[in-house]
Structure 1
């Protein structure tokens, strides 16, 4: 009886334990499979700086660089031989000469003697011509007095060849006198134009052969700058007949320093440079050494001139142009998008571009400083920047 009770108690305890186990497992499974509350995480959009732009009319402006050059450069040489007898005090480097101003004089006694001999020869030729002319008239009178009809058998009768020879002698003597006077004049070496002396190659007492270099001179009437322009830049400028009137404003600014000068368009070259494959515009500044400050040959300058008024352009800060030559903008849904561009022209702070047709109807928000990590379709939070330079 006692064993029966013991087994009964054991079985009861076992059932209770099994029940407790399954109840606990049920509670564990129920807890594990319970529905958890979902926590909503707000979407984070990166902020981007934007500027609203819209199409407008802008005047193009072209800038290019070049060095100033004199209008004329000459290595002056002698036309006759002789010893340097006198040099002008103004004939020194850095001095200015007026056109026709004497620079030096060669010893010219031989040339003066040649002029005197040529004058004598001319006087004798003229005398011979007058004598022959009188003899010809006398021969004609004698022929008429002879009563013979018709013309004489030979022109020698009326002394026609003799008169022609005398006339040719006069012409030859005149030419010799002109040549001798020219040689005498060339012994006085003068400035061929208003000039700046760059170098002097002779000294008093030097003997110069014909063709010896005497000096290097730069003209002082104007300096000019040759600037090469691309096809796109030429399309931004007005017609050549407008540019070359002399009234189209051109500004030159020294690269080193802050000096500026007002110039004008002198001419337009009508050929492509063999190296750059571009056409050139020539601008100039009148009386360069009289400017304040003076503009000297050899100064490196930036040339700036206004172009045509152009419609339907965006004025975009230069910082908005990505390294790949693209403009990023924010759509109406605050999504990033981009498009490639080719600037029409540019200035120090802005580039001016033709806008895509699909963006032409409404103002657009463009990114001021796009970075390489941006991707199309990215959601962003645009922040408008009013004044951006």
Structure 2
């Protein structure tokens, strides 16, 4: 009994194989003799830009050596190495005793002058003093106020405050040390953004402008890339190197970038979206470039050669300036057997994994 079942199954399988073979032969006959098997890809838009490479060194957005305008002994320090500070924060103060006494004296003089002016003003209204006496009291008040502002200003010079937000470098003084006018107390840098200066050949002058995007990398931070924009283009061309100076600004929210880093710069000039085809789909003949498209001619897929004008090449894609329309199916693989006007068979790329699959004419044309 088991042998009979096995025999029937074997006969059925053989019959199915014959039917499948006959169907394949009929389909092949419909496609026409000598049809080349190809893969296609649609014409689509891609981002293109001219890439200009350069080298540069990072600088902080702002950098200053903190100094004092007067000489005296340090009485208090309110920061440490590497502290982040905000604008206006008090960092250091010098001895205030003598200067505080001068401020007190100037305030007393100014108060006395104001009181004298007010009395003279009242007497002038009663016409018991002359106008010249009132004018003299007004001059004395103005002089006393000016003197007060001067000593107050000198008192402020004895206190060092942060001129902007940033990070401090190493502290170079200690409490009790004597500092002279102009001695550096510490370095303060604003690293919220970084400046990157570099040079590009003058032939790219029309392609580089304020707002042009840049991408930068550094060996100090392998595997990381940073984006920025051009902020300034130099006003003159170097007559020796025939290059122009460019400055880009790089945001630095994570504070990873440091002044002095050596950077590799790529400018993305003239960014645009354009039609593109895979590089391997192009057949160069002399100075001209051609591609083959899959065209439906009376229900039969054929290869149609088309001359195109190409532009930039970028990441395996070629910019098409003219000659193609969006959505057209470009033959990318199997070109060795393709001839203009010859029949083709468009295969699905899944055939590479599944071992089979032929696309219909309607599918190849998006139908």
Q: TM-score, normalised by structure 1?
A: 0.55
Give the 3 Å change call, closer, same or farther, for CA 346–253 of structure 1 in structure 2.
farther
1:348 deviates by 9.2
Structure 1 residue 264, shift from structure 2 partner = 2.3
Distance verdict in 2 for CA 1:194–1:311, change over 3 Å: closer
Pair 224,268 (structure 1): closer, same or farther in 2 beyond 3 Å:
same
Pair 1:171–1:269, CA change in 2 (3 A) = farther
User: Who is 1:268 aligned against?
Assistant: 233
1:91 alignment counterpart: 80
Q: Offset of 1:135 from its aligned partner?
A: 2.6
| C-alpha distance after superposition, 1:319-374 (max 9, x if no partner) | xxxxxxxxx98589xxxxxxxxxxx999899999xxxxxxxxxxxxxxxxxxxxxx
Deviations, residues 66-119 of structure 1 (Å, cap 9, x unaligned): 01101222122112222111222x331x33222222222211111211111111
Gaps of 5+ in 2: 1-45, 289-310, 320-367
Deviation at 1:210? Answer: 2.5
Which structure has the larger Rg?
1
Q: Is the 8 A contact 1:64 1:304 kept in 2?
A: yes
1:116 to 101, 104, 109: 104
Does 2:268 align with 1:306? yes
Distance 1:346 1:234 in 2: 21
* Equivalences for residues 204-283 of structure 1 within 5 A: 204-237=175-208, 240=209, 243-244=210-211, 248-256=212-220, 257-273=222-238, 276-283=241-248
1:193-219 Cα deviation digits (max 9, x unpaired): 112223322121111223322222222
Alpha-carbon distance in structure 1 between the residues aligned to 2:177 and 2:70 = 14
- Taking the TM superposition and a 5 Å limit, the aligned residue runs for 1:161-172 are 161-172=132-143
Deviation at 1:127, TM superposition (A): 1.1
State the distance in 1 between where 2:318 and 2:257 align.
31
Equivalent residues of 2:202, 2:237 under 8 A apart: no
CA separation of 1:233 and 1:173: change in aligned 2, threshold 3 A: same
Distance 1:274 1:351 in 2: 36
Q: Per the alignment, in what secondary structure is the counterpart of residue 99 of structure 2?
A: helix
Pick closer, same or farther for the CA change 1:330–1:273 going to 2, 3 Å: closer
Q: Using the alignment, how far apart are the partners of 2:83 and 2:240 within structure 1?
A: 37
1:133 to 87, 105, 121: 121
Corresponding residue SS for 2:257: coil
1:197 counterpart = 2:168: yes
Match of 1:285 among 250, 257, 262: 250
Determine the C-alpha separation between the residues in 2 that align with 1:180 and 1:274.
53
Give secondary structure in 2 for the equivalent of 1:201.
Answer: coil
Q: Distance in 2 between matches of 1:210 and 1:285?
A: 35
Whole-angstrom CA distance in 2 between matches of 1:309 and 1:220: 29
Q: Structure 1 residues 347, 234: CA separation in 2 closer, same or farther (over 3 Å shift)?
A: farther
Task: Kindly indicate whether the alpha-carbon contact (under 8 Å) linking 1:194 and 1:220 is maintained by their aligned counterparts in 2.
Answer: no
Residues 75, 93 of structure 2: 8 Å contact kept:
yes
- Aligned partner of 1:48 in structure 2 is none
Partner of 2:67: 77
Alpha carbons of structure 1 residues 210 and 86: separation in structure 2 relative to 1, 3 Å: same
Tell me which residue corresponds to 1:49: none
User: Which structure carries more strand by proportion?
Assistant: 2
Partner residue of 1:179 out of 123, 129, 150: 150
CA contact (8 A) 1:91 1:103 kept: no
Return the offset for 1:284.
1.3
Distance change in 2, residues 1:265/1:331 (3 Å): closer
